[in-house]
Amino acid sequence: MSKVKKKSFKKIMRDLWKAIVEWFVNKYQEFMKLPMKIRLVMLVWLIVILVLVIFIIIGSHNKRNIEDYNNIEKEINVAMEKYLEKNELYATESKPLILTTDILIEEGFLDKNIFDGKTCLGYSKAYYRDVYDDETKDGENVINSYINCKGYTTKGYKENK
């Protein structure tokens, strides 16, 4: 019976690293044997692909942030609805009801960590809707919330409500 030697993890990783480096060196040497024009075209395409990948990564990150802000707006809408119900307040045809997020937080309808450490201002506006459509019932309040954070502002946000 022969004894099988076990290679240590460190030795396996060192051998793997050497194989990877050797593979890249061989590819580089093959690349350098190509004519200069072909190398330049390949480098330009490589740069274009890298730029596209970077834009895709940044775009997906921004989309995720926008979804986070949209969720915050929805939470503010729910808090405003609860506030109006508890206090039996209704918007009139001539005057909408407006509450800042600070008031909703102070009154306990909104979590104080709603903005997750971001510096933001926000408010919610309730309108009276006396026309029936697919989204609202006759005479129901329609609530829209607006936030202004660094890097994101809800469309329609106004400093002086």
- Which amino acid would we find at residue 25? V
In a domain, 160, yes or no: no
Statement to judge: residues 25 and 65 lie in one domain: no
Number of folded domains in the chain?
2
C-beta neighbour count of 92 within 10 angstroms: 9
Residue 143 sits in the same domain as residue 67:
yes
Do the domain assignments include residue 94? yes
Whole-number Å distance between alpha carbons of 38 and 31: 9
147 in the same domain as 72: yes
Evaluate whether residue 48 is within a structural domain.
yes
Residues 20 and 91 both lie in one domain? no
Residue 103 placed within a domain: yes
pTM of the full predicted structure? 0.58
- What domain range includes position 47? 10-57
pLDDT tens column, 39-98: 999 999 999 999 999 988 887 766 667 888 889 999 999 999 999 889 888 887 778 889
For 94-114, give the DSSP string.
S--EEEEHHHHHHTTSS-TTT
Q: What is the CA radius of gyration of the chain?
A: 30
Length of the chain: 161
